[in-house]
């Protein structure tokens, strides 16, 4: 008897295959990731599309681009697979935390704050497979909301009723300028300089932009970077100014390369929050990680 459409949708194996193809954009790469033969991935994907009666991908050569229907299914697939993992963990009862824990973090937090936490957590829970992804705050929050991350370390404020949030670190932000720059009391002391910052979605960047805006000082432009080392290096080269957690600047000796200036408290004081979805109730690895702070 041919499976019904609902039975196809609830086939978790087919959903995992669909999700892998969607994320990799390629049947070949999805097959390698899932340790399956390519023909099996193609066949299962075709069966899912046939059962649903829609095309989930546009096939353009070897690339697989999701259709509108595919995008719609992906959001449900993420939720269904997460729920299945939660159910399995709940049925297992009091087992020690195990399995995959997907952690998101701001890059500066990952560099300055997380190494000791992750090392201690791994010693306590060796059966948990830790996966770390770094990004600015806004993409990390979306990753948690979309079930792509189990937890994330982001900058406050976090205004999402779907998320539980727990304050874990207090950060002090400082302004960076080129070495030898005179003391900075306000944006007027910097003038029209380029802002060197992380990609859009970084709360630290928004706070510095707001400080300049409230003082009526325009920024010449914003140059975006992927790493804090690149930002600090370009500040040292005289390309602009940046804001950075003071903790990062204490990782190594930057004397003689950049000047570090204090910022007003309403700009400088930022809390780092650990966030996770409020509707994922049973996740032993996540609970153990939250308790590590």
Concatenated DSSP letters of 181-233 = PPP-SSGGGT-S-PEEEESTT-HHHHHHHHHHHHTT---S-EEEES-HHHHHH
- The residue assigned the tokens 């370390």 is 153
pLDDT in tens, 52-99: 889 999 988 778 999 999 998 988 888 888 777 767 766 665 567 888
Length of the chain as a residue count: 293
User: In what helix (H) or strand (E) does residue 163 lie, and over which residues does it extend?
Assistant: strand 163-178
Cβ–Cβ < 8 Å for 48, 56: yes
pTM of the model: 0.74
pLDDT in tens, 164-205: 999 999 999 999 999 999 999 999 999 888 999 998 899 999
């Amino acid at each position: 008897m041919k499976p019904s459409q609902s039975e196809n949708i609830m086939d978790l194996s087919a959903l995992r295959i669909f999700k892998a193809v969607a994320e990799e954009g390629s049947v070949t790469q999805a097959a390698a990731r899932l340790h399956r033969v390519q023909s099996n991935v193609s066949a299962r994907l075709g069966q899912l599309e046939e059962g649903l009666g829609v095309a989930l991908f546009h096939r353009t050569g070897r690339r697989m681009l999701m259709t509108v229907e595919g995008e719609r299914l992906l959001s449900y697939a993420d939720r269904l697979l997460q729920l299945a993992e939660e159910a399995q963990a709940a049925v297992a009862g009091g087992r020690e935390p195990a399995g995959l824990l997907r952690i998101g973090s701001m890059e500066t937090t990952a560099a300055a704050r997380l190494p000791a936490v992750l090392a201690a957590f791994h010693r306590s829970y060796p059966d948990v497979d830790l996966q770390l992804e770094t990004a600015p705050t806004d993409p990390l929050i979306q990753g948690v909301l979309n079930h792509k991350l189990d937890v994330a370390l982001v900058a406050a404020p976090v205004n999402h009723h779907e998320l539980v949030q727990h304050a874990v670190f207090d950060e002090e932000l400082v302004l960076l300028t080129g070495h030898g720059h005179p003391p900075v009391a306000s944006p007027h002391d910097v003038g029209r300089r380029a802002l060197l910052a992380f990609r859009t979605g970084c709360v630290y960047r928004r706070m510095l932009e707001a400080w300049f805006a409230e003082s009526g000082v325009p920024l010449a432009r914003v140059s975006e970077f992927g790493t804090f080392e690149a930002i600090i290096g370009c500040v040292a080269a005289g390309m602009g100014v940046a804001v950075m957690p003071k903790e990062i600047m204490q990782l190594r000796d930057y004397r003689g390369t950049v000047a570090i200036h204090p910022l007003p408290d309403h700009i400088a004081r930022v809390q780092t929050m650990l966030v996770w979805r409020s509707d994922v109730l049973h996740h032993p690895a996540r609970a153990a990680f939250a308790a590590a702070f």
